[in-house]
Amino acid sequence: MGKTWLGHPRGLFLLFFVEMWERFSFYGMRALLIFYLTQHFLFSDRDASYAYGAYMSLIYISPLMGGYLADRYLGQRKAVLFGGVVIAIGHIVLGMESDDAGAMGLGLFWLGLATVITGTGFLKSSVSALVGQLYPRDDMRRDPAYTIFYMGINVGATMGPIICGYLGQTWGWHWGFGAASVGMIAGVIGFMLCKPLLQGRGEPRDPERLKERVGGVVSREWLVYLSSLASIGLCWFLIQNHVIVGWMLAAASAAVVLYILWEAFGRMERIGRDRMLAALFLLVVNPIFWGLYEQTGSSLSLFTDRYTDRTIWGFNVPASMFQSVNAAYILMFGPVLAGLWIWLAKRGWEPSTPAKFGIALALVGAGFLILVAGTGAPGTLTPVLFIFLLYLCHTLGELCLSPVGLSAMSKLAPSRMIGLMMGIWFLAMALGEYAAGLIAAATGGEGGAASRGDVLAVYGTIGWWSVGAGLAVMALAPLVKRLMHADRFAEEGE
């Protein structure tokens, strides 16, 4: 395995570094996005939420195509490098902020977001795959390696909103977006300089074919790059037309459900069919959770900015910085919850995967209800404590659902469909992101800022519905668990 550090290949820590800075730039920019739209371009809360939902859903769709092109043509190393460069360019474009909030400035802003979407499609899917390629399939260090890698994600997600959010809302928007670009550039430079640490992993499957000229004009590699850059125009169009994004997601989701049912009832025996039905159940719950959870970057950020007492130890904290709380909680409570599951499993008390999904829904709903209960009399600011409590509930919910979701897809799907089911999981998350935009839009009006009462009314409604849905999922969990046939995983070599 070559030289190691802390018992792992040094390439792992290079990928930790790259992903940390990519997440720094992504979450730093996301922390400013809703405020930039409402305060700089003077979007209404509703229109800003629609744009936010379209952007975030496209972010989750793009790795499907980027991952395919990396697997088939580029290899993961080239895809990470290309994606990182494109993301950095996108953040630089976003940082070219001017006093003009007219059509030209807005068009440039959409262009920056579209460029980030395209770059994320290549980097996000490939950097995770590279981690696995550093180890043999049966290496016991693989799971701990992904735990270390996941820490890098959350370190970046913690730092990004703090630094970019503070600079953007205190010094000027271009300072915040500029800091995001500097972070991604640092990741790209580190990746280029430390390429040998990857020990030749992630190279193209067929380098000679990649060099072949298509039509005698351009190499196949550059054709991939140029066609991918051309897709920026499509992303630019879609961000501004959220209804089209919604119809695309609805059509894709309907096709996926029909395909899963066709596979289950047309091509599988009983156990395989049962498992696909269990997977479909989890896939339905997934976007419900993320649609509620992702109020973080839209309506919840606006509520924190306008209706919360953000003074902490005499310092008035910019609202964008609160988006770091979730990632910080994950760093704090992730190991605690992982240890709790192990402790419960040894005693036969660990909740099943579908039960954890139900707990996640109940927790995200409880977070909204706690915030509503803590708002106090009309005309008063909500104590910041209740924002922290909401984030705590939402983070614990995420830790119940997110780590086990992809694992469940890989276990429930037949080997020939594992890659497809992973992609469908991210499609479900994209649907949840779009739903988050619709929910956030429901809190606001077309004429400007949402009233405190309107926001709390929506939060109270979705809070109770989410708790109820969580209880329903927990009630159905024993049935879904039986459909999973988990007792057969060991004998099947899972």
Burial of 15 (0-12, 13-18, 19+ CB in 10 A): buried
Q: Report pLDDT digits (tens) over 295-340.
A: 999 999 999 999 999 999 999 999 999 999 999 999 999 999 888 9
Domain 1-240 shares a fold with domain 245-494: yes
User: Helices (H), strands (E): how many in the chain?
Assistant: 16, 8
Residue 258 host element (H or E): helix 242-266
Sequence-ordered strand ranges (E) for 6-61: 8-9
Nearest CA to 448 among 159, 45, 149, 111? 45
**Exposure string (b/e) for 408-445, b if CB count within 10 Å is 16 or more?**
bbebbbeeebeebbbbbbbbbbbbbbbbbbebbbbbbe
Thinking of the domain 245-494, which architecture would CATH place it in? Up-down Bundle (1.20)
DSSP letter for each residue of 375-394 = --STTSPEEHHHHHHHHHHH
Q: Report the distance separating Cα 164 and Cα 35, nearest Å.
A: 13
- Which residues are within 8 A (CB) of 42 and not within 5 positions of it... i.e. 6 or more apart? 101
Q: Where are the domains of the chain?
A: 1-240, 245-494
Which residues pair with residue 448 across a beta bridge? 445
Q: How far is CA 297 from CA 30, 53, 291, in A?
A: 7, 10, 11
Mean pLDDT of 389-407: 92
- Looking at 29-38, 394-403, 416-425, which range is the least confident one? 416-425
**173-193 and 76-95 helices, crossing angle to 10°:** 160
End-to-end CA distance of the chain: 25
Q: How far is CA 473 from CA 261, 288, 357, in A?
A: 21, 12, 7
pLDDT band at 494 (very low <50, low <70, confident <90, very high): very low
- Per the CB < 8 A criterion, the answer to whether 216 and 50 are in contact is no
pLDDT at 191: 93
Q: Report pLDDT digits (tens) over 202-235.
A: 888 888 888 888 877 888 889 999 999 999 999 9
pLDDT at 52: 96
Q: Report the distance separating Cα 362 and Cα 369, nearest Å.
A: 11
Asked if residue 395 has pLDDT above 90, the reply is yes
Q: Report the distance separating Cα 255 and Cα 385, nearest Å.
A: 44
Mean pLDDT of 32-40: 95
Q: Report pLDDT digits (tens) over 66-98.
A: 888 888 888 889 999 999 999 999 999 998 866
Q: Report pLDDT digits (tens) over 250-269.
A: 999 999 999 999 988 988 88
Mean pLDDT of 433-449: 83
Q: Report pLDDT digits (tens) over 119-163.
A: 999 998 888 888 888 887 667 777 678 878 888 999 999 999 999
pLDDT at 161: 97
Backbone angles phi and psi of 377, in degrees to 5: -70, 150
- Per the CB < 8 A criterion, the answer to whether 453 and 378 are in contact is yes
pTM of the model: 0.92
**299-307 and 45-69 helices, crossing angle to 10°:** 140
pLDDT at 365: 98
More confident site: 388 or 73 = 388
Residue 173 host element (H or E): helix 173-193
pLDDT at 446: 56
- Per the CB < 8 A criterion, the answer to whether 158 and 327 are in contact is yes
Asked if residue 59 has pLDDT above 80, the reply is yes
- CATH fold group of domain 1-240: Growth Hormone; Chain: A; (1.20.1250)
pLDDT band at 1 (very low <50, low <70, confident <90, very high): very low
Please state, for a pLDDT cut of 70, what percent of the chain lies above it: 96
Nearest CA to 356 among 411, 295, 405, 407? 405
Asked if residue 104 has pLDDT above 80, the reply is yes
pLDDT at 2: 52
